[in-house]
Amino acid sequence: MQNHLKVALIQTTLVWENPIQNRINLRDKIDEIPEPVDLIVLPEMFTTGFSMNPESIAESMDGVTVKWMTHIAKEKDVAIVGSCIIQDNKKFYNRLLFVEPNGKISSYDKRHTFTLAGEDKVYESGNHRLIVTYKGWKICPLVCYDLRFPVFARNTEDYDTLIYVANWPKVRISAWDTLLKARAIENMSYCIGVNRVGLDFNNYEYSGHSAAYDVLGERLDDIPHGKEATAIITLDKAHISKYRGKLGFLNDKDGFTLK
């Protein structure tokens, strides 16, 4: 078990429905990370942007992007997480992939598909939550719209870190800022959100606001808004233990059954 986890947050533009170019661009950014890290976090649908046209751009679990992630994880000795469009059993998923250096792949299908954009009409909704144990850290990775639903993120497993990957538009960015901080405070966990920047094909603007918060809701990063940037943060087990032990808020959480 590691007492510290070093995480790189990559806030980037995405080329519309162009997996080849996005993989090239992201590889360059990964190569530019200035120091060794344990985990790299990419945005939601990092190969395509938030597309509702999966027929021509979806990949399989044996496809190029999964192999690309696996290769980078092994070469860099780092875990890498982000979501992309996957076709599985003739259905399309906005699937988050958590790929470890040893080749292990954990996946989570976005539960809360974004009805305002018709995502629910195109992609199948997931039916389970993922908790990854990596280097002794329990990590709960979720996707974009999931951020609005605190019950699904409730810390019933004593996870250490929440991660949200997103294509969250500028017009509602204040909600993103507020809810990321709230998820950290209410779950007494680190909370990391990585959002894209730039314009997409539909002329929606994304302003980033990628961020990381500690268990008290204090900001850990200095990522600029509206620009491509990579930030490296260090998570500390002692910080979690200190404040969970001192404050004990999770001991008083409500019990419930999720349906």
Catalytically active residues are 44, 110, 144
Distance from C-alpha of 121 to C-alpha of 230, rounded to nearest angstrom: 34
Q: Is the dihedral of CA 49, 55, 56, 61 positive or negative?
A: positive
Distance from C-alpha of 258 to C-alpha of 197, rounded to nearest angstrom: 33
Distance from C-alpha of 75 to C-alpha of 59, rounded to nearest angstrom: 22
3-class SS of residue 8: strand
Element (H, E) at 64: helix 64-76
The answer to whether 191 touches 181, Cβ cutoff 8 Å, is: yes
The answer to whether 41 touches 10, Cβ cutoff 8 Å, is: yes
